């Protein structure tokens, strides 16, 4: 695969957070203000990753492994401290209009919809943001709301929706502009098994019918097993494994029927 065809090409991608630490209590707070204790934490450590178009890749790792930091750099929310990064031929941190028009992010734990108004009102705002023509906007709303079964929910204030209903509306909003690359950060968190399956099927169809590349982070191993042909395990800011589920099982030393939870627990056992 040539470098230009990759959707994501990261080489030695690094992020070091600089922060100041403060001792407990009022005295500590005052001392922290006068003489701050500077600290550094390497959250992502020379990570290299190439993702071709149309792939669904699962980014897995224990808490604090560096997944969110990686995703924030990939979508341009954080500027890398070092390394090379190209996403859809762009440097994400520049946040060009073309780049932002071709990516999207959906968070299971954070709503992108306006709480007190209807989903449709949020969609109208996104229509302006992405400069979509009326025919393109109408066609996207029709297709997405039908596929996600939210046609009757679009005009209901978001605060009145159940979590499962809201997540489906979040996806309509996230996909309105037809991105080539979707970052889905824990999209099924808190959903019941029916809602989870519906969302999972939708993501699989989106990938199959539109060729959308999907980067999924999830602690729900059944999502990953069902959707991701490729799994990258991040720990301490580096990729320790990159392959498919069968290879991961073999590497973990677990038996062939072991579920992904058991496999990952074996891989991360003993980490500090």
Ligand X SMILES: Nc1ncnc2c1ncn2[C@@H]1O[C@H](COP(=O)(O)OP(=O)(O)OP(=O)(O)O)[C@@H](O)[C@H]1O
Which of the residues 149 through 208 are near ligand X (CB under 6 A)? none
φ, ψ of residue 117 in degrees (nearest 5): -120, 180
β-pairing, 213-217 vs 181-185, is parallel
Location of structure tokens 């098994």: 193
Select the span of 47-55, 66-74, 121-129, 199-207 touching ligand X (CB under 6 A): 66-74
The whole-angstrom separation of Cα 123 and Cα 150 is 13
State both tokens at 40.
Answer: 């550094």
The whole-angstrom separation of Cα 207 and Cα 185 is 16
Q: Which one among 47, 49, 60, 67 touches ligand X, defined by CB under 6 A?
A: 67
The interface mask with ligand X, positions 7-46, x = CB under 6 A, is: ----------x-x---------------------x-x---
Q: Which one among 65, 150, 161, 182 touches ligand X, defined by CB under 6 A?
A: 65
Select the span of 58-66, 101-109, 150-158, 161-169 touching ligand X (CB under 6 A): 58-66
Q: Which one among 2, 24, 34, 63 touches ligand X, defined by CB under 6 A?
A: 63
DSSP class of residue 160 equals: G
Q: How many CB atoms sit inside 10 A of residue 20's CB?
A: 11
User: CB neighbours of 159 closer than 8 A, spacing ≥ 6?
Assistant: 115, 116
Location of structure tokens 């997944």: 67
Residue number, 140 or 224, with CB nearest to ligand X: 224
The CB-of-178 to ligand X minimum distance in angstroms stands at 27
Residue number, 54 or 83, with CB nearest to ligand X: 83
Site membership for ligand X, residue 66 (CB under 6 A): yes
The CB-of-74 to ligand X minimum distance in angstroms stands at 12
The whole-angstrom separation of Cα 223 and Cα 60 is 11
Q: Residues in the site for ligand X, rule: CB under 6 A? A: 17, 19, 41, 43, 61, 63-69
């Amino acid at each position: 695969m040539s470098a230009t065809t990759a959707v994501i090409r990261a080489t030695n991608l690094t992020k070091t957070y600089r922060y100041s630490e403060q001792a407990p209590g009022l005295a500590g707070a005052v001392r922290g203000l006068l003489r701050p204790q500077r600290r550094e934490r390497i959250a992502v450590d020379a990570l290299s990753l190439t993702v071709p178009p149309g792939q669904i890749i699962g980014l897995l790792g224990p808490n604090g492994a560096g997944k969110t930091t990686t995703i924030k750099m990939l979508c341009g929310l954080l500027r890398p401290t070092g390394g090379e990064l190209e996403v859809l031929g762009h440097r994400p941190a520049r946040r060009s209009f073309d780049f932002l028009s071709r990516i999207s992010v959906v968070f299971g734990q954070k709503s992108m919809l306006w709480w007190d108004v209807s989903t449709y009102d949020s969609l109208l705002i996104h229509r302006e943001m992405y400069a979509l023509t009326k025919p393109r906007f109408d066609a996207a709303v029709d297709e997405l709301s039908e596929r996600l079964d939210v046609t009757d929910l679009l005009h209901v204030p978001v605060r009145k929706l159940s979590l499962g209903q809201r997540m489906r509306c979040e996806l309509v909003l996230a996909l309105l502009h037809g991105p080539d690359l979707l970052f889905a950060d824990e999209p099924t968190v808190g959903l019941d098994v029916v809602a989870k399956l519906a969302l999972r099927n939708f993501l699989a169809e989106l990938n199959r019918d539109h060729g959308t590349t999907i980067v999924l982070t999830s602690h729900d191993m059944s999502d990953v097993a069902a959707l991701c042909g490729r799994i990258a395990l991040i720990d301490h800011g580096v990729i320790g494994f990159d392959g498919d589920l069968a290879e991961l099982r073999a590497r973990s030393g677990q038996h062939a029927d072991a579920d992904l939870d058991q496999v990952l627990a074996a891989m991360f056992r003993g980490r500090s």
